[in-house]
Structure formats: structure tokens, C-alpha cells
Amino acid sequence: MAEHRHTLLTGLTGEVIEIGTGDGVNFTRYPPTVTRVLAVEPEPHLRRLAEAAAQQAAVPIHVVTDSAENLSVPDESFDAAVFSFELCTVPDLDAALNEALRVLRPGGQLRFLEHIRADTSRLIRVQHLLDATVWPLLVGGCHTGRDTQ
Ligand SMILES: C[S@@+](CC[C@H](N)C(=O)[O-])C[C@H]1O[C@@H](n2cnc3c(N)ncnc32)[C@H](O)[C@@H]1O
């Protein structure tokens, strides 16, 4: 997973918004070509952990409370938007992607790292069972079988 997270952020430049940042697990992986990161995390405990993680990062990172579906930032204000294990969780996937599009400058990049729906019907059934029962409660609203891709 460390390698996937590294690949997610490789080559990014300029101003980045990371949405649903959790405890800031990605923060130390941002390359020095990134000039600032606005990190969005609505959950208070995770946000406090992210604020601590931001102190360890090599690039300036500011952690805020906000929602993927309604970002309090101007249009076309970032060079990249980053989601990791986040599009499986947001209540409204289309709204979150539309918001990312709104805040990206022309030519900006959307980077995502996600688990996705299984490719066999047997595993899809297992995912649906998990999603209808315990999984979203155990893992902060995550849906294992969401067809994010
Ligand atoms: C599975 S965690 C992923 C955390 C981190 N990005 C990672 O790579 O491990 C999903 C995160 O999305 C956040 N989240 C949930 N609903 C959200 C929303 N509507 N807008 C933004 N973040 C949200 C959760 O608080 C949690 O931190």
C-alpha cells in the first residue's frame, strides 16, 4: 500500500487539495514540488491527528473541516485534487466529483486511490452483504462494493 500511496502523489506540483484526509497518512509523501496542501477532514478526532501529522510534513499543509460535497473554496483554485480511500465513503459520489472538478484549475489533475467493486459475482455478493450489514459501521461509512471506477 505504501507503494500505491507513493504513486498516487508522484509528480504533483503546485497547490493541492486532499479530500477526506483521515489521520494524514499521505502527508509525508507529498513531493517538494507541491507548494501547499489544503487537507479536508470532517471527523474531529481524525482532524486532530491530521493536524499533528501536518507538522511532520515537508510541505505546508493546512487541515480544515469541510465536506467533499460542498467545499468552501473558490472555483479553479487548485492544481490537483487527491482522494485516497475516500470515494468509497462519501455519501454522494457525484457531488464530490463535481466539487473536485469545480475547484480544479483548467488542466488540473484528479488523483485517486480506491478499492473497487470485485470482478466476480460471488465476491460482489460478499461485498453487498458486508455493505448492507456491519462494514460501513466498522469502517467509517466505507462501501466495499461501490462501483467507483
Ligand atoms: C476510509 S477513510 C480514508 C482516510 C485516508 N484518506 C486514507 O487514505 O487512509 C475515509 C475518510 O473520509 C472522511 N469522510 C467521510 N465523509 C466525508 C465527506 N462527506 N467529505 C469529506 N470527507 C469525508 C472520513 O472522516 C475519513 O477520514
- Reported as a single tens digit per residue, the pLDDT across 81-102 is 999 999 999 999 999 999 999 9
Same domain for 107 and 147?
Answer: no
Same domain for 149 and 94?
Answer: no
Owning domain of residue 95: 2-113
Please work out whether the CB of residue 140 comes within 6 Å of at least one atom of ligand 1: yes
* Mean pLDDT (whole number) for 139-148: 86
Q: Is this model's pTM higher than 0.85 or not?
A: yes
Same domain for 107 and 137?
Answer: no
Give yes or no for residue 140 having a pLDDT over 80: no
Same domain for 87 and 136?
Answer: no
DSSP conformation class of 70 = B
Same domain for 123 and 142?
Answer: yes
Which residue's alpha carbon is at the smallest distance from atom 4 of ligand 1?
22
Q: Give residue 14's pLDDT band: very low, low, confident or very high (50, 70, 90).
A: very high
Query: For residue 86, which atom of ligand 1 is closest to its CA?
Result: 10
In total, the chain counts a number of residues equal to 149
95-99, long-range: CB < 8 A, 24+ apart = 95/68, 95/69, 95/70, 96/19, 96/68, 96/69, 99/68, 99/69, 99/70, 99/71
* Mean pLDDT (whole number) for 119-138: 89
Same domain for 142 and 130?
Answer: yes
CA 41 – ligand 1 centroid, Å: 7
Query: Could you tell me the CATH number of the domain that includes residue 80?
Result: 3.40.50.150
Same domain for 124 and 107?
Answer: no
